[in-house]
Amino acid sequence: MTDLTTDRPDLAPPEAPEGLAGERVSFIDGAGLRLRVREWGPVDAPALVALHGLRGFSGTWRALAAALGDGWRIIALDQRGRGESDWDPQANYYTDAYLADLEALVAALALERFVLLGHSMGGTTAYAYAARHPARLEALIIEDIAPGSSISGAGAERIKAEMAALPLSFANWAEARAYWRQARPRVSPAALEQRLWESLRARADGRIGWRYDAEGISTTRLNPDPARVVDLWPVVEALRVPTYVIRGGQSDFCALATVLEMALRNPRIVYASVDGASHYVHDDKVEQFNALVAGFLAGVAATRAAGG
């Protein structure tokens, strides 16, 4: 039998990302859902909890963990409905549910103080947690989300359009690759393959399907309950921990003007814009993002060492 992938490598399934052997995987209970947790770094190192975005996955922080090395314990959660975490049968994909899952993670791992990092949707959860539990946090890092980002603007409309047109499956891996390359044109080939491996899988019928609850998440994003949509301005104004906002210089989601207003309203907020990066800074500009995070964390560690 002819191996079609020899002539058509785009038909081949993605290879597993490098570094899987160095990951620790466990599961916690979050409101009755089984949630997967990935960890990197020594268990006795200071903790950094990282939350991915709307269609992300815990493994998206693999490169950051490698860059930080043994100085930090990186803890990443597959948010409910994603990766190897359970899907919510009630499609409860709102900030209050994600916040409860994060609180369950902190309790399960007995984390006393830690740094919290969140991208996009995970950033909303991170803001909310920081406002509710300031004593738990050494610092907060937010990737490309600000008040109003998810509600209006070009980025919000782009994401809604992506979710509305989302294919529920693909005929083969070539179709899946073409979809992700069109959706994320700035990411490297390695990052694209990681996204394929983490977010898709071959189904019993031969088609390629999502590893996340595409239908439930899309429904919640496109037709949200207005009462459960978080207004981030009061949350931002209530922050009492050092906060670092990293935005993409070409982001259509996190406007520079809004970030400047955030810094005016709350002096604990500082920010950086990364040239050439879109909403997905940690994918588009991996080394720059990791360096910015590492630099900020060095300041956090210095403050800790000084007894601050």
Q: What is the rounded distance in angstroms from the CA atom of residue 131 to the CA atom of residue 238?
A: 6
What's the pLDDT at 5?
A: 54
Tokens of 210: 């999502």
Q: Is the pLDDT of residue 1 over 60?
A: no
CB atoms within 10 A of CB 146: 27
Q: What is the rounded distance in angstroms from the CA atom of residue 102 to the CA atom of residue 49?
A: 9
Length of the chain in terms of residues written:
308
Q: What is the rounded distance in angstroms from the CA atom of residue 103 to the CA atom of residue 136?
A: 11
Instruction: List helix spans (H) across 31-72.
Output: 62-68
Of 281, 74, 68, the C-alpha closest to 191 is: 281
H or E segment and range at residue 162: helix 154-164
What's the pLDDT at 17?
A: 86
What's the pLDDT at 19?
A: 77
Domains of the chain: 4-305 (3.40.50.1820)
Identify which has the larger pLDDT, 87 or 152.
87
Q: Is the pLDDT of residue 52 over 50?
A: yes
Render pLDDT for 181-191 as a digit per residue (tens, 0 to 9).
998 888 888 88
Q: What is the rounded distance in angstroms from the CA atom of residue 97 to the CA atom of residue 213?
A: 15
Render pLDDT for 220-234 as a digit per residue (tens, 0 to 9).
999 999 999 999 999
Measured CA distances, 135 to 113, 117, 139 (Å): 8, 16, 10
DSSP 21: G
DSSP 144: S
Q: Is the dihedral of CA 37, 33, 143, 264 positive or negative?
A: negative
Mean pLDDT of 77-90: 96
Question: Which residues is 34 bridged to in the sheet?
Answer: 29
Mean pLDDT of 117-128: 98
C-alpha torsion 46→109→98→234, nearest 10: -50
Q: What is the rounded distance in angstroms from the CA atom of residue 213 to the CA atom of residue 220?
A: 11
What's the pLDDT at 190?
A: 87
Q: What is the rounded distance in angstroms from the CA atom of residue 128 to the CA atom of residue 232?
A: 8
Q: Is the pLDDT of residue 252 over 70?
A: yes
Percent of all residues in the chain with a pLDDT value above 70, rounded to a whole number = 97
DSSP secondary structure string, 204-223?
A: TTS-EEESS-HHHHHHHHHS
pTM of the model: 0.94
Beta strand 73-77 with 114-119: parallel, antiparallel or unpaired? unpaired
CB atoms within 10 A of CB 107: 11
Percent of all residues in the chain with a pLDDT value above 90, rounded to a whole number = 88
Percentage helix, strand, coil for the chain under 3-state DSSP, each rounded to 5: 45, 20, 35
Q: What is the rounded distance in angstroms from the CA atom of residue 242 to the CA atom of residue 240?
A: 7
Render pLDDT for 257-292 as a digit per residue (tens, 0 to 9).
999 999 999 999 999 999 999 999 999 999 999 999
**Given phi > 0 = left and psi -120 to 50 = alpha, else beta, which region is 144?**
left
What's the pLDDT at 203?
A: 94
Mean pLDDT of the chain: 94
Q: Is the pLDDT of residue 251 over 60?
A: yes
